Amino acid sequence: MRKASPKSAPARAADPSLESLFDVHEATLPNGLQVRLLPNHLAPVVSLYTFFNVGSRNERPGITGISHLFEHMMFNGAKKYGPKMFDKTLEANGGSSNAYTSHDMTVYYDDFASDALETVLDLESDRMRSLRISQDMLTSEREVVKEERRVRMDNDIGGMMDEELGTLVYKAHAYRWPVIGWMADIEAISREDCQTYFRTYYAPNNAMLYIAGDIDPKKTLALVRRYYGDIPRGPAPLPVINAEPEQRGERRSTVRHPAQSPAVMIGYRGPSAKDEDTLALDVAQYVLTKGEGSRLTRSLVYEQKLAVGVGLDWSWRIDPGTILFFLELKPDSDPQKAEAALYAELEKLARDGITERELQKALNNLRSDHLRELGTNNGRAHAMGNYEALLGDWRHVLTLPSAYAAITSEKVKAAAAKYLIPERRSVVTLLPAPSEA
């Protein structure tokens, strides 16, 4: 085990008030499992995160949604702890667990009383070593996931628009399909598919472990070695190819659905998380929609009264992601007018940039939000894992505020001029259709 060394930190300076919170110990087991340990004795609780480098990005047509379906299967029994025993054992020891799948990764976490640490390591290592995928469990879990798809996508306007937008923005990349997958694929995924998936992506060499909270790092690492040390490496996963062709013009689609109001969702093709422009776009996001005084909220909601709400989501991804705008409109709104007002603001941003005060305001808020995220063990463990998965090093937790501080109005302007242009744009308009009574 080595204590985290600032020498290997990214080029930026670490935020001093953060550095004191991150006394991280790190290690790599011979089987490739990477371990990060962060003690914090404020409360007798611990959060453990396991990040697997697999998400819908690693799928192909025919098995879309398998990463997510498989995420469910990880709770359904292994060699030592059989069906239903994972949750039962964990809860009976004062813990709880959940997981999520994104385009890029699959993430499991446990929050628990600190004296349950060894039990949790036993449970987690058991399923990484020896998951058992039974046909019965797969059949039943498939139904659960179908209900999840119905509630998130088929019966949800935001979900159906997002799904449509994905197919417009991406033509070749796996970001084209929703993380939850197409219904027909969820139906068709087989036990063999799951087994292959497990062997390939859930091996220790494709995983990272983060433990934050009321722990002794030395003893904890000894336990991790004892429970995970004998899990064999898996084959190296195939690299994901980004074959996405250049976009040559605006793409549009209309969704008709019984709804009260029209709505508009707009996606611009952005850079990847590692790209410097990502930080400039974060600043742009804050200037445009963070807070009541942000540009789009003030203009579209309060001054022009064209929208009930304006949302902007710039989510970091491994491969180039989507800068996504959402306009919630009123029943009698003209979606084209609202769209035009949005574009006018984006053009202004690309033409004039932002003021020094707006820049400082965005930096202040990025820092506050960053600190808030780090207020819990769960938040700290997750943040470390997320930055490591997307950027390659957990130390970005420490250096992010100073990385943002290097952003200038010029950089924001340049990023807006580069990305927020019609040629990179895809638009989904929801138009109310009469209800099929």
Name the minimum Å distance from CB 30 to another protein. Answer: 30
Reading the block at residue 112, the tokens are 């628990």
Alpha carbon distance 210, 397 (integer Å): 14
Residues 25-84 that bind another protein (CB under 8 A): 42-45, 68, 71-72, 75, 84
Name the minimum Å distance from CB 2 to another protein. Answer: 24
**Which is closer to another protein, CB of 98 or CB of 336?**
98
Alpha carbon distance 125, 224 (integer Å): 9
Q: Based on the shown chain and the rule CB under 8 A, indicate whether residue 88 belongs to the binding site for another protein.
A: yes
Q: Based on the shown chain and the rule CB under 8 A, indicate whether residue 375 belongs to the binding site for another protein.
A: yes
DSSP conformational letter for 241? P
**Which is closer to another protein, CB of 224 or CB of 287?**
287
CB contact at 8 A, 349 and 284: yes
Residue from the set 57, 295, 367, 424 that interacts with another protein by CB under 8 A: 367
Name the minimum Å distance from CB 173 to another protein. Answer: 16
From the candidates 26, 71, 328, 388, which is the catalytic residue? 71
**Which is closer to another protein, CB of 205 or CB of 267?**
267
Residues 252-311 that bind another protein (CB under 8 A): 257-261, 265, 282, 285-286, 290-294, 298, 301-302, 305, 308, 311
State the number of binding residues for another protein (CB under 8 A).
113
Count Cα neighbours of 280 within 13 Å in the Cβ-side half-sphere. Answer: 24
Q: Based on the shown chain and the rule CB under 8 A, indicate whether residue 96 belongs to the binding site for another protein.
A: yes
**Which is closer to another protein, CB of 19 or CB of 244?**
19
Name the minimum Å distance from CB 369 to another protein. Answer: 4
Beta-ladder partners of 326: 265, 311
CB contact at 8 A, 411 and 280: yes
Beta-ladder partners of 111: 47, 96
Alpha carbon distance 186, 81 (integer Å): 26
**Which is closer to another protein, CB of 214 or CB of 347?**
214
CB contact at 8 A, 107 and 49: yes
Q: Based on the shown chain and the rule CB under 8 A, indicate whether residue 400 belongs to the binding site for another protein.
A: yes
Residue range at the interface with another protein (CB under 8 A); choices 22-30, 142-150, 186-194, 340-348: 142-150
Helix (H, G, I), strand (E, B) or coil at 316: coil
Site string for another protein, 228-257 (x = CB under 8 A): -----------------------------x
Sheet order of strands, 322-328 included: 251-257, 425-432, 263-269, 322-328, 309-314
Q: Based on the shown chain and the rule CB under 8 A, indicate whether residue 328 belongs to the binding site for another protein.
A: yes
Q: Based on the shown chain and the rule CB under 8 A, indicate whether residue 93 belongs to the binding site for another protein.
A: yes
Q: Based on the shown chain and the rule CB under 8 A, indicate whether residue 415 belongs to the binding site for another protein.
A: no
Name the minimum Å distance from CB 130 to another protein. Answer: 20
Residue range at the interface with another protein (CB under 8 A); choices 133-141, 219-227, 244-252, 343-351: 133-141
Name the minimum Å distance from CB 76 to another protein. Answer: 9
Q: Based on the shown chain and the rule CB under 8 A, indicate whether residue 324 belongs to the binding site for another protein.
A: yes
Residues 184-203 that bind another protein (CB under 8 A): none
Instruction: Indicate if 192 belongs to the active site.
Output: no
Q: Based on the shown chain and the rule CB under 8 A, indicate whether residue 330 belongs to the binding site for another protein.
A: yes
Show the CA angle centred on residue 394, arms to residues 389 and 395, nearest 5°.
Answer: 145
CB contact at 8 A, 111 and 45: yes
**Which is closer to another protein, CB of 205 or CB of 299?**
299
Q: Based on the shown chain and the rule CB under 8 A, indicate whether residue 102 belongs to the binding site for another protein.
A: yes
CB contact at 8 A, 428 and 264: yes
Residue range at the interface with another protein (CB under 8 A); choices 1-9, 24-32, 134-142, 334-342: 134-142
- Enumerate the H helices of 265-376 as residue ranges: 277-289, 295-296, 335-352, 356-373
Nearest Cα residue to 372 out of 9, 18, 111, 46: 18
Residue carrying structure tokens 């959940």? 98
Nearest Cα residue to 427 out of 327, 355, 345, 329: 327
Show the CA angle centred on residue 200, arms to residues 70 and 118, nearest 5°.
Answer: 70
Q: In terms of residues, how long is the chain?
A: 437
Sign of the dihedral defined by the CA atoms of residues 404, 407, 411, 412, in that order:
positive
Name the minimum Å distance from CB 188 to another protein. Answer: 17
**Which is closer to another protein, CB of 152 or CB of 251?**
152
**Which is closer to another protein, CB of 206 or CB of 376?**
376
CB contact at 8 A, 296 and 310: yes
Q: Based on the shown chain and the rule CB under 8 A, indicate whether residue 376 belongs to the binding site for another protein.
A: yes
Q: Enumerate the active-site residues.
A: 71
